[in-house]
Chain A
Amino acid sequence: MTADLAVVGAGPAGLAAAVTAAGRGLDVTLLDAAERPGGQIHRHPARGPVPRPVRRLTRRLRGVTHLPAHHVWTVVRDGDTWLLHCVAGPDEAPATVRARAVLLATGAYERQLPFPGWTLPGVVGAGGAQAMLKGGLALPGRRVVVAGSGPLLLAVATTLAAAGARVPALVEAADYTAYARRLPALVRNPGKLAQGALHGGSLLRHTTRLLTRHAVTAAHGTRRVEAVTVARLDADWRPVPGTGRRVPCDVLAVGHGLVPQLELATGLGCATRRTPDGTPAVAVDGRQRTSVPGIWAAGETCGVGGAELARTEGEIAALCVAGDASAALARRRARLRAFADAMAAAHRPRPGWTDWLDDATEVCRCEEVTAGRVRHAVAELGALDARTVKLLTRAGMGWCQGRVCGQAVARLAGEDPAPDRRPLSCPVPLSQLAHLPEAGPEAGPAPEAPAPEAPGAE
């Protein structure tokens, strides 16, 4: 059976696209790695209540073939259609979906910048902390420092405070006054302004200190985090000497915004662009078409911009697949994208953050590679980019395949992060690879027809 449209990712963009496309009479298959729809932003425990926006959309998913717990590990062309190969369910069973068009709505993951002590228990990702709260984590009375950069921090601090945690400090590396320079974009987004004010207000009631142009440059503790050092930053995010002070805490929630999840798109050969915060994202046109005909992308994959933008892009993509368009949606997208760009520019990590690292700081946690070894590879062994650092240190070769350390390693190698290339977007059992269906001649975007192969050794 061939679907008209396969949507990868059931977050806001994917859900909106699936519902819209099904509404236009298309036969839609929605695949998602998680057990339940909603994506990261609407992550909810299996037995807990379903968040309202998800309920609203899932109610309309009737007519959509929803495949939860399906992790798409690659998308390949097969004649006029696309094959989506999946690892499905807890048994990691093989599954393949065939579709005429594909929408990538694979979302984003949290950017981590390492610092001394970041591997201590009690140091959690900011997004992770929010997910834990949604999962019912009890925090009454605990002191949680929220640090990093990006609009998510305000939301996390607010949620934590509402859940009874004490938030002694919200430490933001960027300068919110940077938003002022982008005022036109903000003025056209009254909703965003109101949301920001709301977060600020509830935090004030909880006596949280808001420290902009500051960073947590070290976490301290023996068995778990007990305190953090907070230092003032210069314009390049270098700590200003003599400004460090200790803030006791039980938990540090730290995150530096989100970065688009790109590997399915890069595997297909989709062109990327560099967003104002320095990360690569899938390049799309006004109707969410990627550079590869037959492949659309929507949501954070195209540049982080929040749920509303993601839903808008999902709808635009679905309409385009159905052969339709909406001027109102296009206007809304332009407005929201301008705001997202303003935010991204304000929170772009400045190169001086690498000064937080001492040589003993672990950069790659999977392979236990320190900043000192990365610096040695760059300075002494001729590594000019993250790929060569990986080859010479194993940084990024472990379980996470560089998802956690990739951004940091690229910066230490002196470059902006390159678009992720991971031909396998998740681990795949060898038995599954060995029994892949024999497709027709694989015509990827190849410059010449692939010849049959004769394998052998190096």
Chain B
Amino acid sequence: MSHVPDAVIIGAGVVGAACAYYASRAGLDVAVIDRGPVAGGTTGAGEGNLLVSDKEAGPELDLALLSIRLWRELADVLPPETEYEPKGGLVVAPDETALTALRAFAEAQRQAGVEAYEADADRLRDLEPRLAPGLAGGFHYPQDAQIQPAMAAAHLLRASGADVRPGEEVTGVLTDRQGAVRGVRTTRGDLHAPAVVNATGTWGGRIAELAGVHLPVLPRRGFVLVTEPLPPGLVRHKVYAADYIADVANGSAALQSSAVVEGTPAGPVLIGATRERVGFDRTLSTAALRRLAAQATALFPVLGGVRAIRAYHGFRPYLPDHLPAIGPDPRVPGLHHACGHEGAGIGLAPATGLLAAAALCGGRPALDVRPFRPDRFPEQKGPAA
């Protein structure tokens, strides 16, 4: 155990993998620790959406735009099994009201650098011949893309050359007398390093707590439906209904609905996902399945006769303001965070990794990181709820 890496990254999901990849590329020697296997948490339950279309103009969209560029570069480096597909997104509006709202939304996105093209009903049909008739219109987002998330994580880790240690749980964060990080304690011993990156997704709050700081990451459940394999070309883009956008930024847990429908190279169509705040509840919600199926068949009536062969769920890690925590934690020198990406972790991983690597090296970040400051949430006072 004489070897001391420059940084220990906790979490072998896609965000941890991207941190490892960009840190290694910056010349750092890193170790990646995970209590489970590679991609064993939210990454393994993700659909692999690389989206700009669903993000309103602002810091998260800037992160997404940077990520989309980086994913395109990574697609040349990673093997074809990662199934990178720049298929584009199609956001449809069922009626004129939704279309008007979508137009304003897209205009703001365009000013931030998003490619968005309005599609009238005829154009919608060209783009997606199986769409339901009678839709008012929509927007085509050619930058939206797709990747197989578990494969992406595994191959990013592999390409990073990092010392990957799955099946090893971090039980403590080691600090020196000044309170600075000097490594982690794990179920297999101590691992010393001058920097620790918390890339543990839904468990981000727990690791922060081990380091003595407050980071209120909470789980938000999502169900995904998977159909039997279908012929290619049935669904060509990532297609979803416009009311979804109001949803992502929506702090309330009110019932609103729209499923993203998309084909996969292996044949099945994915329909997902719901957003529910039910803690880490793993029981099946038939209400969630009903909603997904109703939304999908409303968009693509042809799917009504298709069978779902699987349903699965995952837990998205979210922070109260729906932005991730990225970068050094001023409260504990040497502690960095890269977590809390909610449902966008796959998409936002490369930009997060790039920013984390810059912070580890003391380099200039590629964009303004202040909105992602990990200490932006006030400590909770008084008795614990």
**Residues in chain A within 8 A of chain B (CB atoms):** 74, 76, 83, 85, 92, 267-269, 367, 377, 380-385, 387-388, 391-392, 394, 397-399, 401, 422-424, 427-436, 438-439, 442, 444-448, 450-458
B238-A457 in contact (CB<8A): yes
From B266, B273, B305, give the contact of A431 (CB < 8 A): B305
A-B contacts, 8 listed (Cβ < 8 Å)? A381-B155, A430-B306, A436-B289, A450-B276, A451-B277, A454-B257, A457-B49, A458-B51
A430-B308 in contact (CB<8A): yes
Question: In chain B, residues 293-315, which have Cβ atoms closer than 8 Å to a Cβ of chain A?
Answer: 293-297, 303-313
User: With the chains together, A442 CA to B287 CA distance in Å?
Assistant: 8
A434-B36 in contact (CB<8A): no
Q: Is the CB of B240 closer than 8 A to any CB of chain A? A: yes
A457-B51 in contact (CB<8A): yes
Interface of chain A: mostly helix, strand, loop or mixed: loop
Given known contacts A387-B44, A444-B284, A457 and B272 CB-to-CB distance under 8 angstroms: yes
Given known contacts A384-B37, A388-B38, A424-B308, A454 and B293 CB-to-CB distance under 8 angstroms: no
In the complex, the chain B residue whose C-beta lies closest to that of A266 is B282
**B267-292 interface bits toward A, Cβ cutoff 8 Å, 1 = contact, 0 = none:** 01001111111111111111111111
Q: How far is the CB of A344 from chain B (nearest CB, A)?
A: 28
Given known contacts A382-B12, A427-B228, A433-B292, A454 and B304 CB-to-CB distance under 8 angstroms: no
**Residues in chain B within 8 A of chain A (CB atoms):** 12, 36-40, 44, 46-49, 51, 54, 150-151, 154-155, 157-158, 164, 166-167, 222, 225, 227-229, 238, 240, 244, 247-248, 250, 252-260, 266, 268, 271-297, 303-313, 316, 343-344, 346-347
From B227, B247, B282, give the contact of A456 (CB < 8 A): B247
From A381, A382, A436, A454, give the contact of B253 (CB < 8 A): A454
B281-A434 in contact (CB<8A): no
Given known contacts A381-B158, A385-B37, A458 and B293 CB-to-CB distance under 8 angstroms: no
B contact residues around A83 at 8 Å (CB): 286
From A367, A382, A433, give the contact of B293 (CB < 8 A): A433
B contact residues around A424 at 8 Å (CB): 308-311
A-B contact count (CB 8 A): 230
A458-B310 in contact (CB<8A): no
Q: How far is the CB of B17 from chain A (nearest CB, A)?
A: 10
In the complex, the chain B residue whose C-beta lies closest to that of A85 is B286
Q: Known pairs A446-B279, A454-B274, A458-B49; list 8 more (Cβ under 8 Å).
A: A391-B150, A424-B310, A427-B307, A444-B285, A452-B253, A453-B288, A455-B244, A456-B273
Given known contacts A392-B154, A430-B296, A457-B238, A451 and B306 CB-to-CB distance under 8 angstroms: no
B287-A453 in contact (CB<8A): yes
User: With the chains together, A284 CA to B257 CA distance in Å?
Assistant: 40
A-B pairs with lowest CB-CB distance, top 8: A382-B38, A433-B293, A444-B283, A391-B150, A427-B307, A384-B37, A453-B276, A457-B260
B contact residues around A423 at 8 Å (CB): 284, 310-313
A429-B307 in contact (CB<8A): yes
Q: How far is the CB of B297 from chain A (nearest CB, A)?
A: 5
A446-B250 in contact (CB<8A): no
A458-B38 in contact (CB<8A): no
User: With the chains together, A410 CA to B294 CA distance in Å?
Assistant: 35
In the complex, the chain A residue whose C-beta lies closest to that of B253 is A451
From A439, A448, A454, A456, give the contact of B286 (CB < 8 A): A439
From B272, B274, B285, B307, give the contact of A430 (CB < 8 A): B307
Q: How far is the CB of A267 from chain B (nearest CB, A)?
A: 6
A contact residues around B288 at 8 Å (CB): 453, 455
Given known contacts A382-B12, A450-B285, A457 and B273 CB-to-CB distance under 8 angstroms: yes
A392-B151 in contact (CB<8A): yes
User: With the chains together, A392 CA to B148 CA distance in Å?
Assistant: 9
From A367, A427, A438, A451, give the contact of B278 (CB < 8 A): A451
User: With the chains together, A257 CA to B266 CA distance in Å?
Assistant: 32
B contact residues around A448 at 8 Å (CB): 278-279, 281
In the complex, the chain B residue whose C-beta lies closest to that of A439 is B286
Q: How far is the CB of B159 from chain A (nearest CB, A)?
A: 12
Q: How far is the CB of B316 from chain A (nearest CB, A)?
A: 8
User: With the chains together, A430 CA to B300 CA distance in Å?
Assistant: 11
User: With the chains together, A390 CA to B218 CA distance in Å?
Assistant: 27
A442-B286 in contact (CB<8A): yes
A455-B247 in contact (CB<8A): yes
A contact residues around B305 at 8 Å (CB): 429-431
B285-A447 in contact (CB<8A): no
B238-A450 in contact (CB<8A): no
Q: How far is the CB of A328 from chain B (nearest CB, A)?
A: 37
B contact residues around A422 at 8 Å (CB): 310
User: With the chains together, A427 CA to B240 CA distance in Å?
Assistant: 24
User: With the chains together, A119 CA to B38 CA distance in Å?
Assistant: 31
B150-A434 in contact (CB<8A): no
Q: Which of A92, A387, A438 has the most CB of B within 10 A?
A: A387
A430-B297 in contact (CB<8A): yes
B contact residues around A380 at 8 Å (CB): 158
A contact residues around B313 at 8 Å (CB): 423
A458-B260 in contact (CB<8A): yes
User: With the chains together, A267 CA to B266 CA distance in Å?
Assistant: 26
